[in-house]
Chains A and B, each alone.
Chain A
């Protein structure tokens, strides 16, 4: 499936490894947590990047020891109403300072695009057929009241509190 990165559509080059298949010798990987746990020590020499996909019930804390060597964490939404991955992404960015790609996979609705970006997601896996809908629905809110969200990912929504503060600072000066 293609990936939406900001407004760009990019191809997914990751190799997903079936449960009973061996890990291929080359190419960027996307493994599940069990596979990563089992084979972690044999993966870090690879030049092409290693990523892991977490289910919502799998805590990001499980990745703590490997985050500096992973270049992708994919977080699965089993339903768009399941908001757990938003917290997972936020923890990866804010607590662990994870700088790699965070990818949203699974059932999402286009109207969640902004929330995803603000929580630190950089890519969204989108079905080909849904691409026009995602593009059409990208009427974005340019303002946000929350602090500390989305400053590193994509065009940041304007923090209302910070903007007010800057303005009153200017007024005082």
Chain B
């Protein structure tokens, strides 16, 4: 993984010193909350319902064991002993005291981490495929480009006061695990079929929130070395012309929509033609990317057989282990290795939460079994990317008693939920308790396996941090005359077949929503054709069978 050089180190230290000074001025009363607000937001510090919340950047979701241990230390020393992994591959601490935040940032800097640009109207932490570099279907490794973008977007002098926040996602695989079509900019690496040269498909104007939209491709193939000038052109068009009169219409998706895809593309291409980058920019980009790429050279893989007899025997002998292998491991690009997905969704738990002991255990296991590296997924799970087949059983035996072995990745229990009204000042309804209730109702893992791939995503308000628009089943909590009401959407997807869910009908109370999910699942199981997933079924059958099952029997 990427390691800081002395420049990166100095940059983060300077920024931390600067913020320590700002916090001191605030604590002495020299800065009002109004003046302090933009400064703290630029350093990831929010004021939530009950306390400050610090959002720490995990660049493109990659963590070392050492960094994970430091997060555990921070959770214990300055928070309540746990942290919350988010849909943006970051971690949030929910209870830090303002006076401690500079020390927390110093502790982060000690392990090459920071909270810069995890909030505010700037370019946020770049996200990518949690299996980058190890996925069997990968065309090109997106991580060096993510790191280049991290550096390029850090304290950008021109693009730090945008109309609204800005999120970039990159995928290097045809199967999109990074949700690139629902980001402000999505970059899909692929190869020119004629020349074999790698480049980017540039997708702009996707997003969720109040006005969900699927991104539009404005450039089918962009040569790699032109990435920074081309992104600068997009950012400049957005910075100048994005709406600033209404924060709900300020994201780039609205600009793309209002100008139209054609006109927006012409504006960007014209800007790019005027400022296409110089030979020096291209040369430095190439020098930088090859320097960065050396940090992502494959670890020293062993030459292993495709199958491991003892592993196969254990799968055969233990049903529990077999279930976990089936749902929580994935094919690795190197023979004899597997990708392990660690579920942070135990039955009845809070999606994405991990306590300090779990973080330390994962750090140890990563060192023992996975070249010391851990990934955070936008599904709020973790990944150990490089595990030998022969080690899977031992690893599972350690994960299981720590509550980290729930075999539900990609299944119904693997629910995404925003923090909701339990933490967030924007929320209009609770989401965590709904996730917990659904998870408990469907705790039978064989039943989850029978239901098959099914993504439930829950947001506690229309800002859609829980990605409900792109859930196979989406649940949106709203406030209706002082009562929480849950609106259900069906058929959304964040993958390469990106689509937005459709509202099935009138919403449900908190008490009734779990029964509604039960009815929806039963309808699917009853009517599905051979091998048809829930998503495929909703796209084929539409809302009608669900409407009939949910509402026909209702009195009156």
Residues in chain A within 8 A of chain B (CB atoms) = 59, 80-84, 86-88, 90-91, 94-95, 109, 111-112, 114-115, 118-119, 139, 141-150, 160-165, 168
CB-CB < 8 A to B157: which residues of A?
Answer: 86, 114-115, 118-119, 144, 146, 149-150
The number of residue pairs between A and B whose CB atoms lie closer than 8 Å in the complex comes to 108
Q: Which residue of A lies closest to B157 (CB)?
A: A118
Q: How many whole Å from B208's CB to the nearest CB in chain A?
A: 23
Asked whether A83 and B159 contact (CB < 8 A) given A143-B7, A165-B287, the answer is: yes
Task: Give the interface centre of B158, B280, B283 by most chain A CB atoms within 10 Å.
Answer: B158
Q: How many whole Å from A156's CB to the nearest CB in chain B?
A: 12
B530 at the interface (CB under 8 A from A): no
B39 at the interface (CB under 8 A from A): yes
Residue contact A164 to B288, C-beta cutoff 8 Å? yes
B275 at the interface (CB under 8 A from A): yes
Residue contact B161 to A145, C-beta cutoff 8 Å? no
CB-CB < 8 A to B11: which residues of A?
Answer: 141, 143, 145, 160
Q: In the complex the two chains form, what is the Cα distance from A165 to B280 in whole Å?
A: 11
Residue contact B239 to A86, C-beta cutoff 8 Å? yes
Which of B38, B236, B278, B291 is within 8 Å of A164, CB to CB?
B291
Q: In the complex the two chains form, what is the Cα distance from A149 to B160 in whole Å?
A: 14
A-B contact pairs, 18 of them (CB 8 A): A80-B38, A82-B244, A83-B239, A86-B158, A86-B159, A90-B236, A111-B22, A111-B39, A119-B157, A119-B158, A139-B18, A141-B14, A143-B7, A146-B157, A147-B228, A164-B288, A165-B284, A165-B288
7 tightest A-B contacts by CB?
A83-B161, A118-B157, A115-B157, A145-B151, A160-B7, A86-B158, A143-B11
Q: In the complex the two chains form, what is the Cα distance from A162 to B291 in whole Å?
A: 13
Q: How many whole Å from B295's CB to the nearest CB in chain A?
A: 13
B551 at the interface (CB under 8 A from A): no
Asked whether A161 and B284 contact (CB < 8 A) given A81-B38, A87-B236, A145-B151, the answer is: yes
Q: Which of B232-280 contact A (CB under 8 A)?
A: 236, 239-240, 244, 274-275, 278, 280
CB-CB < 8 A to B154: which residues of A?
Answer: 145
Q: A83-B160, A145-B11, A160-B8 are in contact. List 8 more A-B contacts (CB 8 A).
A: A86-B161, A94-B275, A111-B38, A139-B18, A141-B14, A146-B157, A161-B287, A164-B291
B121 at the interface (CB under 8 A from A): yes
Q: Mark B127-161, 1 if CB is under 8 A from A, else 0.
A: 00000000000000000000000011011111111
CB-CB < 8 A to A83: which residues of B?
Answer: 121, 158-163, 239
CB-CB < 8 A to A59: which residues of B?
Answer: 240
Q: In the complex the two chains form, what is the Cα distance from A146 to B150 in whole Å?
A: 11
Residue contact A80 to B161, C-beta cutoff 8 Å? yes
CB-CB < 8 A to A144: which residues of B?
Answer: 155, 157
B281 at the interface (CB under 8 A from A): yes
Task: Give the interface centre of B157, B239, B280 by most chain A CB atoms within 10 Å.
Answer: B157
Q: Mark B1-41, 1 if CB is under 8 A from A, else 0.
A: 00001011011001101100110000000000001001100
Residue contact A139 to B244, C-beta cutoff 8 Å? no
Q: In the complex the two chains form, what is the Cα distance from A119 to B239 in whole Å?
A: 14
CB-CB < 8 A to B21: which residues of A?
Answer: 139
Q: How many whole Å from A73's CB to the nearest CB in chain B?
A: 16
Q: In the complex the two chains form, what is the Cα distance from A8 to B402 in whole Å?
A: 61
| Chain B: number of interface residues, binned into ranges | 35 or more
CB-CB < 8 A to B10: which residues of A?
Answer: 142-143
Q: How many whole Å from A133's CB to the nearest CB in chain B?
A: 8
Q: In the complex the two chains form, what is the Cα distance from A87 to B271 in whole Å?
A: 12
Residue contact B274 to A81, C-beta cutoff 8 Å? no
Q: Which residue of B lies closest to A145 (CB)?
A: B151
Q: How many whole Å from A151's CB to the nearest CB in chain B?
A: 11
CB-CB < 8 A to A81: which residues of B?
Answer: 38, 121, 161
Q: How many whole Å from A92's CB to the nearest CB in chain B?
A: 12
CB-CB < 8 A to A111: which residues of B?
Answer: 22, 38-39, 42
CB-CB < 8 A to B274: which residues of A?
Answer: 95
CB-CB < 8 A to B152: which residues of A?
Answer: 145-146
Residue contact B287 to A143, C-beta cutoff 8 Å? no
Q: In the complex the two chains form, what is the Cα distance from A145 to B288 in whole Å?
A: 11
Q: Which residue of B lies closest to A139 (CB)?
A: B18
Q: Which residue of A lies closest to B39 (CB)?
A: A111
Q: Which of B86-137 contact A (CB under 8 A)?
A: 121
CB-CB < 8 A to B278: which residues of A?
Answer: 148
Task: Give the interface centre of A161, A163, A168 by most chain B CB atoms within 10 Å.
Answer: A161
Residue contact B240 to A84, C-beta cutoff 8 Å? yes
Task: Give the interface centre of A86, A90, A112 by most chain B CB atoms within 10 Å.
Answer: A86
Q: In the complex the two chains form, what is the Cα distance from A78 to B274 in whole Å?
A: 28
Q: Which residue of A lies closest to B280 (CB)?
A: A147
CB-CB < 8 A to B121: which residues of A?
Answer: 81, 83
Q: In the complex the two chains form, what is the Cα distance from A160 to B156 in whole Å?
A: 13
CB-CB < 8 A to A86: which residues of B?
Answer: 157-161, 239
CB-CB < 8 A to B42: which residues of A?
Answer: 111
Q: In the complex the two chains form, what is the Cα distance from A165 to B289 in whole Å?
A: 12
Residue contact B35 to A109, C-beta cutoff 8 Å? yes
CB-CB < 8 A to A90: which residues of B?
Answer: 158, 236
Q: Which residue of B lies closest to A117 (CB)?
A: B157
Which of B15, B283, B291 is within 8 Å of A141, CB to CB?
B15
Residue contact B287 to A168, C-beta cutoff 8 Å? yes
Q: How many whole Å from A96's CB to the nearest CB in chain B?
A: 10
Q: In the complex the two chains form, what is the Cα distance from A92 to B273 in whole Å?
A: 16
Q: Which residue of B lies closest to A118 (CB)?
A: B157
Q: How many whole Å from A167's CB to the nearest CB in chain B?
A: 9
Q: In the complex the two chains form, what is the Cα distance from A118 to B155 in whole Å?
A: 11
Q: Which residue of A lies closest to B278 (CB)?
A: A148
CB-CB < 8 A to A139: which residues of B?
Answer: 17-18, 21
Q: In the complex the two chains form, what is the Cα distance from A84 to B250 in whole Å?
A: 13
Q: Which residue of B lies closest to A147 (CB)?
A: B281
Asked whether A164 and B239 contact (CB < 8 A) given A94-B275, A139-B21, A150-B157, the answer is: no
CB-CB < 8 A to A87: which residues of B?
Answer: 158, 236, 239-240
Q: In the complex the two chains form, what is the Cα distance from A144 to B160 in whole Å?
A: 13
Residue contact B284 to A147, C-beta cutoff 8 Å? yes
Residue contact B287 to A160, C-beta cutoff 8 Å? no
